[in-house]
Amino acid sequence: MRVQHLIFLALLLSLAQAVSAVPSDETLLVTSYLHLSLLDQVDLHVDRMGRGLLDEQVRQITSAAVAWSGEQKAQIRKRLIASFGHAAQERFGAFVSEFTTAEAGNDPDYLYRLAERLTWAGDGPASYAELRSGMTGSHLQQDVDRAAAFLGNIQTWVDLAGKSRELPPLQAWLERDEKTPAVVRVDAVPAEEDPLAALMGQEAGCDAPPVEPTEVVSPLDNFRSMREDRSARVAAEAQAGMQMVAEERRAAEEAYAAKKLADAQAEAARVKRHAQALADVEKEALKQAENSWGNRLKRVAGATVSSAGGAFLGGIGSEAGRRAANEVFE
């Protein structure tokens, strides 16, 4: 009986731990908003880093930033939908609207109630800036680290652009640690068999047809039969010739496509090796840039939305809620 009691207590403890590991609705809303604010800062700094560069370099930076930010927003959207379902967009927009309104008015009652719903330890945050920085440090550290690494990589790439050396494309620079697909060998494409030879082989292996008793035919019938046989033979030879040409063309196209793929993959591998070599040389610069961006993003996390100066989260109230919801869900 005592063993069963201990097992029951262990199950209750496991259930309690599992429940505590799931963030509350309020925690999810706050961290989602702060995560989006972090992406807003990344977008702002990437735009600044692109100033003074060549148009092609700016295009590469913009493309990389849009792709990276899109992946982060997809994560926010996925978590919100998992908790709120079809009401996720409306719920998130409403929260951002009320939060920014209360923050702009420095509403102490809302801050107190929000801290209670967040089960804030101690007396609760003394200001909205403390709430932002505290939640960022406790719930978004990994997101800050990823953002700092992304910005550090772009900054180092931009710095390399001003030096007299071959600069790899930004995408190759960002993906230098990813595995490269194996290069396809051109000679791995099998040559097609000659359909005529295969046909002749099949015919050579066939048993001779039984000899039928000959019949006496007239010269006219014999001539007609020979002409029909010749026409049929010419048509068969023409068809076989066209089939052989088609097979040879298909084999040549496959070999050409395989060679182009092999060349492209070989070039990608070369560019990747070059990017890795540059990263090894710039290892210390990369580390310093990442640490610098991490500290800067943490400082900005404590700033209010009105002073942060982001790209798409400006405004307060319903306007801020609409923009935030659109950025995540549209």
DSSP 180: P
Residue closest to 46 by CA, chosen among 147, 171, 169: 147
pTM of the model: 0.69
Instruction: Determine the pLDDT at residue 143.
Output: 96
Instruction: Determine the pLDDT at residue 36.
Output: 95
- Report the C-alpha gap between 40 and 43 in whole angstroms: 5
pLDDT in tens, 195-213: 544 544 554 554 545 555 5
Residue 107: pLDDT over 50: yes
Residue closest to 308 by CA, chosen among 100, 89, 66: 100
What average pLDDT does the segment 138-151 reach?
96
Residue 330 Cα distances to 40, 91, 130, 140, 231, angstroms: 16, 15, 31, 23, 67
Q: What angle do CA 305, 306, 311 make, to 5 degrees?
A: 70
What average pLDDT does the segment 269-284 reach?
83
Instruction: Determine the pLDDT at residue 267.
Output: 65
Instruction: Determine the pLDDT at residue 157.
Output: 95
pLDDT in tens, 48-101: 998 889 999 999 999 999 999 999 999 999 999 999 999 999 999 999 999 999
Buried b (16+ CB within 10 A) or exposed e, 147-158: bbbbbbbbbbbb
Q: What percent of the chain has pLDDT over 90?
A: 48
Rg over CA atoms, the chain: 35
Instruction: Determine the pLDDT at residue 122.
Output: 80
